[in-house]
Structure 1
Amino acid sequence: MKPLALLSVSDKTGLLDLARELSTTYNFQLISSGGTAKAIKAAELEVTKVSDYTGAPEILGGRVKTLHPRIHGGILARLDLPEHQQDLNDNAIQPIRIVVVNLYPFEETIAKPNVTLEDAIENIDIGGPTLIRASAKNYKHVAVLSNPSQYAELLEELKANNGETTLEFRKKLAVAAFKHTQSYDTAIAKYLSGDLVSNLESLEEKSTNTLSSSYTLLCNNPKPLRYGENPHQPATWYQVGATPKGWSAAQQLQGKELSFNNLLDLEAARSIIAEFGDDQPAAVIIKHNNPCGVAIGSTIAEAYQKAFEADSTSAFGGIVALNRPIDEETAQLLNKTFLECVVAPACVPSVASILSKKQNLRVLVLSDFHQGSHETVKTIAGGMLVQRSDDESVKPDTWKVVTQKQPTPEQLQELIFAWKVSRHVKSNAIVITKDSTTIGIGAGQMNRVGSAKIALEQAGEKAQGAFLASDGFFPFDDSVRTAAAAGITAIVQPGGSLRDADSIKAADELGLVMVLTGIRHFLH
């Protein structure tokens, strides 16, 4: 009697080659359902439909096909137990030795624009995960393949072992299978939870201060990195979800492989450049996860040059993000200094030869800078912290001018620019800008006065007539007075201190504009 192999796949990549080898070279009897059986039969290979093997028709529009004792008995039977052998004989069930299954494309379905809940539900596989889990549970007797990438390895295993598979090989496949079904179930749970949240929010029943009662990270496609933040730290880059998006979907045009630190800095650059949308050309230069230069210009070349000149010393070895395609003029400017990475939504064809002169420069194309994560995750001992990302749009119409002096429209636009940058600087953050360009940044200091002094010292004489943004409130009026003494014209800050009145009074005394946003942007 021929050994049985069950094939039931949604993704038919490599299916026919595998079926042909199993059938003709290793003499397996093939059992298949639905479209898989149809594809194998069309290739003129012998195949038995599941419904013919079980004697039970496919029902409920295909929802029930393989859920049958003759299938699952053949998969779950322990061949080393006489009582299992007896059950197989009594019920005319033959052991199934190889199971090849991949699942309905749930994540691909929900990634489509305007997908309906009904479409998503119908792409939740039931029989497939059941087959995979049953086969993986009984890996001592069954080889389960859950991804077309495993087909070649199976055939090599059969060739090396006279048509058999080793226990070690089957166990490895079982581990991959359980990881696969875990990821699949997690994707479904996250999608349905999101749908539930949407419904609750529409009824105004969802608290803004709560997240899910459980949290699972769905990670795939691991890419080992040379090392982590330092050479003695191993590191791996995981893709979240089955469908590449964000940096996993970016195209690297040239340069060395991305490092752990590159990716962290690229994400910091992406989050800042996303603030400026497509309205005006914008450029940002990141160093050690903080911006050292951010600017808006009439052209992308001008924006980059302004950002570079904001702190040309720190820009050396930096990460650059641009919200416009890299043109020839910008490429020439980029080549003038050592940079680690440049990312833009596109590159005009003629710049390839210019940028290639810097062979180690990593040049990436990321089509959508706005596709960030809606949650941030940080690990702590024994657990992790999860929060909704600080991605709420800047809303100047909700700001409150608290000084006697009112901002002009031009001053308000500069304050908006400074505020957008400040939310991406490590707190305590002080950002000083002029002409839509950062001229001084104080980041990560233990007190706000220290950050202000660093930013003002960096700005120097340019601070005359400049603008200051603070990511948190001023607990005292000392920073306001220090800023005024350096020449600052207007300040934007969240407010909320018990001593707000002192800071406002100082601003009025010194002839400053002060605007309160009512929202804080600490970045730890």
Structure 2
Amino acid sequence: MRRALISVSDKMGIVEFAKELERLEFEIISTGGTAKLLAEEGVKVTGISDVTGFPEILDGRVKTLHPNIHSGLLAIMNKEEHRKQIEELGIQPIDLVVVNLYPFKETISKPNVTYEEAIENIDIGGPTMLRSAAKNHVFVTVVVDAKDYPIILNEMKNGDVSIETKRRLAAKVFRHTAAYDALISDYLTKQVGEEWPDQYTVTFEKAQDLRYGENPDQKAAFYRKPLTTAASLTTAEQLHGKELSYNNINDADAALALVREFDQPAVVAVKHTNPCGVGIGNSIFEAYQKAYESDPVSIFGGIIAANRIIDKPTAEKMRELFLEIIMAPDFDQEALEILKQKKNLRLLKFGELEKQSQPEVKLSSVSGGFLIQEEDVKQIRSEDLQVVTERKPTREEVEQLLFAWKIVKYVKSNAIVLTKDFQTIGVGAGQMNRVGSVKIAIEQAGEKAKGAFLASDAFFPMSDTVEEAAKAGITAIIQPGGSIRDQESIEAANKHGITMVLTGIRHFKH
């Protein structure tokens, strides 16, 4: 008679599966709560202690950690010496293992969970059985996912589980236990406050397959970080439209990060991860108008993120334009009906936005490895600014400069942003020299550059940027400072009556 060992925390579908195994003449071995449930449902169960000859002890911490279990899992059944050894010891082989693990992820995601609770929900026996069975998958079928129950039953009814299926299930087990251990190691590492450990292990869960990557010849998928609860692309609900693409997700993430910066009603338009239009106003309608008017050409086919509910008037204006995505905390019913008239327009609801107080870790892949850094969440307030020019900024100018500073943080370096009346009027992104970025931003702004505000993501290595700004009529500048030639830029600003403030921090974005 074949034997199946069943020990599951998530009992979805397990009773039906066990009954089918009985019909296939399996002996069912089980532990604790699983054994109790199966027995109550009429399944004949052999308790784990009857197999080990040893009671479950230490509040269930030790029950399957026994040679009678692991010898039955690890015996190579076509090896005569192995068969002889287990026969002499009275150990019977185990043909099928069905195990899922203590809910560690669910435990640590609960508010106010204690360290002791977390530790108690680290499974030891379960992963050990899974790993033993997966190592010996040629002879043992191992199941960690209830979605695989029908596949296994179907193959067993036609003989035995194929070696191809066994290999696939074994690979799934090792992914599962690796992810489980990664969550535990991450939790414990954070508990002891170790920032950059010698080994950095992370795990992600697949959110969806993507049709392709940046280009049609590239394969791609979208993965999410476990335990993510804050508003993000992984938690957003898609209300309408086509499936998101790789580029959609990349751009939408950039838009969401920037719109999160603002307390006032704000709208951000993004193309190729760079903001092409940003506006804040007294209403979301006004903010959208400003974002659109910032650059009516580049916003076409762009991604829109708003930090307020989209209402009917705003939706009517948005409908006039071809957009890829509109994302917002929510949409009122009339707005939703209007925007759903555009068949392919993707509408994403991300819920309430929260400011990031603590930086998360950001991973960037390089050939053969990853770069890891904290996210750039440093905030600058008016009292942090150093005024370095003869002309001091007014209170209103400081507010306008801080608005521009928030935006330049999200523009690819070298970055220059021009703003006026709390909207972008020119964006110079990703140029090989800073003057090039300034010229692009000024050209885009045109006559609006007169009296505008300029933000630079990094210091001016020489005074040429200030000279270009002065020619265009720009009257106020915010930049990090820190160049050995800062004084040249300060003197140029004084010569042209420009007020300039330094932040003391830069916002490189590569």
Same fold (TM over 0.5): yes
- Aligned equivalents of 2:100, 2:234: Cα separation in 1: 23
Q: 1:227 to 1:244 in 2, by over 3 A?
A: farther
Q: 1:456 aligned to 2:452? A: no
Q: 1:256 aligned to 2:251? A: no
**1:42-441 equivalence runs, <5 A:** 42-161=40-159, 164-197=160-193, 211-221=196-206, 223-241=208-226, 246-276=232-262, 279-370=263-354, 374-441=360-427
- Aligned equivalents of 1:242, 1:153: Cα separation in 2: 29
Equivalent pair of 2:261/2:355 in contact (CA under 8 Å):
no
Equivalent pair of 1:271/1:369 in contact (CA under 8 Å):
no
> Which residue of structure 2 aligns with residue 477 of structure 1?
463
> Which residue of structure 2 aligns with residue 27 of structure 1?
25
Amino acid at match of 1:443: A
Q: 1:391 to 1:166 in 2, by over 3 A?
A: same
> Which residue of structure 2 aligns with residue 516 of structure 1?
502
Over 4 Å off, 4+ runs: 242-245, 368-373
Amino acid at match of 2:28: L
Deviation for aligned residue 1:226 = 1.3
Equivalent pair of 1:441/1:458 in contact (CA under 8 Å):
yes
Deviation for aligned residue 1:63 = 1.2
Deviation for aligned residue 1:464 = 1.8
Deviation for aligned residue 1:282 = 0.6
> Which residue of structure 2 aligns with residue 207 of structure 1?
none
Q: 1:454 to 1:408 in 2, by over 3 A?
A: same
- Aligned equivalents of 2:398, 2:229: Cα separation in 1: 39
Equivalent pair of 1:377/1:387 in contact (CA under 8 Å):
yes
> For 1:285, what is the secondary structure of its paired residue?
strand
Q: 1:153 to 1:357 in 2, by over 3 A?
A: same
Deviations 1:285-344 (A, max 9, x none): 001110000111111111111101100110000000011111111111110100001111
- Aligned equivalents of 1:243, 1:421: Cα separation in 2: 25
- Aligned equivalents of 1:450, 1:167: Cα separation in 2: 61
Amino acid at match of 1:523: K
Structure 2, gaps ≥5 residues long: none
Let me know the Cα RMSD of the aligned residues: 1.7
Amino acid at match of 2:190: G
Equivalent pair of 1:396/1:517 in contact (CA under 8 Å):
no
- Aligned equivalents of 1:188, 1:500: Cα separation in 2: 49
Which moves more between the two structures, 234-243 or 398-407?
Answer: 234-243
Amino acid at match of 1:176: K
- Aligned equivalents of 1:369, 1:19: Cα separation in 2: 45
- Aligned equivalents of 1:493, 1:305: Cα separation in 2: 28
Deviation for aligned residue 1:257 = 0.6
> For 1:313, what is the secondary structure of its paired residue?
coil
- Aligned equivalents of 1:178, 1:244: Cα separation in 2: 26
Equivalent pair of 2:380/2:503 in contact (CA under 8 Å):
no
Equivalent pair of 1:256/1:362 in contact (CA under 8 Å):
yes
Deviation for aligned residue 1:368 = 5.0
Equivalent pair of 1:14/1:148 in contact (CA under 8 Å):
yes
Deviation for aligned residue 1:363 = 0.5
Deviation for aligned residue 1:453 = 1.0
Deviation for aligned residue 1:394 = 3.0
- Aligned equivalents of 2:41, 2:246: Cα separation in 1: 47
- Aligned equivalents of 1:369, 1:84: Cα separation in 2: 60
- Aligned equivalents of 2:104, 2:60: Cα separation in 1: 16
Equivalent pair of 2:94/2:140 in contact (CA under 8 Å):
yes
Deviation for aligned residue 1:223 = 2.5
> For 2:139, what is the secondary structure of its paired residue?
coil
- Aligned equivalents of 1:371, 1:362: Cα separation in 2: 25
> For 1:108, what is the secondary structure of its paired residue?
helix
Q: 1:395 to 1:448 in 2, by over 3 A?
A: same
Which moves more between the two structures, 147-156 or 308-317?
Answer: 147-156
Deviations 1:4-48 (A, max 9, x none): 11111111111111111111x211111111111121122121112
> For 2:427, what is the secondary structure of its paired residue?
strand
- Aligned equivalents of 1:266, 1:212: Cα separation in 2: 31
> For 2:7, what is the secondary structure of its paired residue?
strand
> Which residue of structure 2 aligns with residue 10 of structure 1?
9
- Aligned equivalents of 2:15, 2:349: Cα separation in 1: 36
Deviations 1:94-129 (A, max 9, x none): 111100011111122222222222221111111110
Q: 1:108 to 1:396 in 2, by over 3 A?
A: farther
Equivalent pair of 1:319/1:339 in contact (CA under 8 Å):
yes
Q: 1:488 aligned to 2:474? A: yes
Q: 1:393 to 1:121 in 2, by over 3 A?
A: farther
Deviation for aligned residue 1:151 = 1.1
- Aligned equivalents of 1:408, 1:238: Cα separation in 2: 47
Amino acid at match of 2:208: K
Deviation for aligned residue 1:485 = 2.2
Amino acid at match of 1:508: N
Deviations 1:422-444 (A, max 9, x none): 00001110001111111111111
Q: 1:244 to 1:83 in 2, by over 3 A?
A: farther
Amino acid at match of 1:173: L
